[in-house]
Amino acid sequence: MEKNIGVGPISKFSPQPSYKRTKKVQANTLVILLTLGSLIMVIPFIWMLLTSFDWAARLNIPFPPRFWPADFSTDTYTAAFSNMPMLRYMFNSFVVSFGVIAISLMSALMSGYAISKLKFKGYMIVLVLALSTMMIPFEMTMIPQYLLFSNLNLLDTYWAFYLPALNYAFGTFLAKSFIDQMPSALREAAIIDGAGEFKVFFRVYLPLCVPIIATMAILQFLAVWNDLLWPLLALNTPDKYTIQLGLALFTYNQSSPLPSIILAATTVSLIPVVILYLFLQKYIVESIALSGIKQ
């Protein structure tokens, strides 16, 4: 007599439900951790913003910290603008930032294009030498740089910011990595049509570099806008002070801390950074995805 050996349902032995449950737990855990991390980073900013509207905190920061102003008022912002030339300082920072961004981006893009597509003799040596300068902290070079610009009579001018921007090694690396993803056939076709290298760069490759341009622009803007040490050394005339130097001078010259007024001025100084990031964030994500660069 034949025995009918059948294979019964094996769904109860299948590891799929357990696997899906594990993945769901991992995803939920990741969301919770990222949420907690976001709160840790956002809470100080929220506290700064709310305290900047607290007129009662103009003399002392309340402890424990409170997350709603005891005396909500915009007088802190009025006091900030009336006690320091905020608009002048911000205009100076814009002049410095835009000049540095324009010079550094053009230098980085052209050098990145040359290293990526021209493949001239010794191009890797040039790249390694440029990247090696990133390992030297600014504190080691600021005194020679200060003496150099002092001998050139360029201190207390914005050229002390513009000329060092010609060496943007990290931007060169970013531009090279991004342009490496573009086909060399574009250059070959343009050269066959009679275009020179500059025309190939400006008419063919530069329009395709919008994402990496946006990335380098916001990185440079953050670096220049938030810089305090070099403006402190290079600038002597108060009318030329940048926003960070003006905030430091205002804080240092006060007989009392005036915390909420200082936080109001600091909040105003952050507005351009937030606006720039909101407009350019999609390009930053796109450039990172295309070039494979992780930060």
pLDDT score, position 287: 57
11 token code pair:
């769904």
Write the CB contacts of 138 (distance below 8 Å, at least 6 apart in sequence): 229, 230
- Cα gap 216→222, rounded to integer Å: 10
pLDDT score, position 288: 59
pLDDT score, position 103: 95
- Cα gap 85→250, rounded to integer Å: 10
Which of these ranges, 2-11, 154-163, 222-231, 251-260, has the smallest mean pLDDT? 2-11
Which of these ranges, 42-51, 97-106, 160-169, has the smallest mean pLDDT? 42-51
- pLDDT over threshold 70, residue 197: yes
pLDDT score, position 232: 92
Q: Residue 235: which pLDDT band, with cuts at 50, 70 and 90?
A: very high
Query: CA torsion 52→53→56→60, rounded to 10°?
Result: -10
Question: Is-cis flag, bond preceding 69, omega within 30?
Answer: no
pLDDT score, position 256: 67
Tell me the average pLDDT across 262-283. 85
Cα angle: 216, vertex 219, 222; to 5 degrees: 145
> What mean pLDDT value characterizes the chain?
84
pLDDT score, position 295: 41
pLDDT score, position 53: 86
Tell me the average pLDDT across 229-252. 90
pTM of the model: 0.80
- pLDDT over threshold 80, residue 5: no
Tell me the average pLDDT across 22-46. 88
- Tell me the pLDDT tens digit for each residue of 175-189: 998 898 888 888 889
pLDDT score, position 286: 63
Maximum pairwise Cα distance, the chain:
109
- Tell me the pLDDT tens digit for each residue of 116-135: 888 788 888 888 888 888 88
pLDDT score, position 294: 43
- Smallest CA-to-CA distance from 212 within 177, 238, 254, 243 is with 177
More confident site: 6 or 158 = 158
Q: Residue 243: which pLDDT band, with cuts at 50, 70 and 90?
A: very high
Q: Residue 211: which pLDDT band, with cuts at 50, 70 and 90?
A: confident
Q: Residue 255: which pLDDT band, with cuts at 50, 70 and 90?
A: low
Q: Which CATH number fits domain 85-291: 3.40.50.720, 3.30.750.24, 1.10.3720.10, 3.90.1150.10?
A: 1.10.3720.10
State the DSSP code for 205: I
253 token code pair:
């010259």
The residue with tokens 């002390």 is 160
